Structures are given as structure tokens and as C-alpha cells.
Amino acid sequence: MPKTDIGFSRWRFDFVKGYSPDYTKLYMANTKPAFAVGEFYDGNKDLIIKWLQAAGESDITAFDFPIKFILQNAVQGDFYKLKDSNGGPPGLIGSLPGKSVTFIDNHDTGSTQKQNPFPSDKVIQGYAYILTHPGIPSIE
């Protein structure tokens, strides 16, 4: 049954560290979604970039966990982390902004599981950052 018959045109690939990126690549090739994002829960942008490359670098994007963690520390006073060693933005937004889905919290980090939640008194600052910087902002 084609995806258009059931009304789905966008995918969120959960826990992509748990299976081969070849499966994501295959799924993307056979369904051709309008948008797709993978959840590679890791603070290392290089690992996320490797996953994107292995998944085919088609139209797949990834949640920018590195910038989420960096921004979380920055709003608590570690402002120097908001620039990489070359003076550009850190995280995936500094390397592949068109593939970076920025966010403050999601079901894995804040709202339900409470692992690495964004400081509740700094959420507005966090949203101001992701709405004014490279990447594809995701608002929860």
C-alpha cells in the first residue's frame, strides 16, 4: 500500500543507533517521504554526520543533540560554548545546518523521561536561539 493511501508523508526514525543505517536508507528510497528525521541520541556531532552519510545523505535530517546539550550549558553561564574553535556555531548546525533539526526538549530528554531536561527557567532563551540560528527548529 503506498504511503499516500494511508496519509503519511513524513517519518521520524527512532533510536537509529540501534540498527544499521542501511535500513533507514532502504526505507527512504522506497517511501520517498516529504521530510524525515532520525534520532541519533548522542552529543558527538561527528557520529551523527557519519550516520547521515551512511543513511544515504538523501533527504534525511537528524536531531541536533550536540547543540541541545551545548545550549543547555550555555544558558546556565557557559556562553563560550556557543562558538566552535573556528568561531562558528557548534553542533550539527555548524557543519550541516540543512540536516540539523534543532530542539529544546523532546520525549527522550525532558517532557516524559526527564533525561537531560532543559532548565525550565531558560526555555524561552533556548527557543530564541533555535529560532534565530541555522537549522530546522522543532517546537514542542
pLDDT tens readout for residues 80-138? 999 999 999 999 999 999 999 999 998 888 767 778 899 999 999 999 999 999 999 99
* Structural domains of the chain, count: 1
In a domain, residue 40? The reply is: yes
Q: Is the CB of residue 118 less than 8 Å from the CB of residue 138?
A: no
- Single pTM value for the model: 0.92
In a domain, residue 120? The reply is: yes
- 140 part of the active site: no
The residues facing 37 across adjacent strands are: 12, 61
In a domain, residue 20? The reply is: yes
In a domain, residue 5? The reply is: no
Phi, psi of 130 (to 5 degrees): -70, -25
In a domain, residue 116? The reply is: yes
Task: Name the more confident of 36 and 9.
Answer: 36
- 14 part of the active site: yes
In a domain, residue 53? The reply is: yes
Which tens digits make up the pLDDT trace of 32-61?
Answer: 899 999 999 999 999 999 999 999 867 899
Phi, psi of 16 (to 5 degrees): -70, -15
How remote is the C-alpha of 29 from its chain's centroid? 21
14, 22, 59, 78: which is the annotated catalytic residue? Answer: 14
The residues facing 11 across adjacent strands are: 36
Report the pLDDT value the prediction gives residue 1, as an integer from 0 to 100. 59
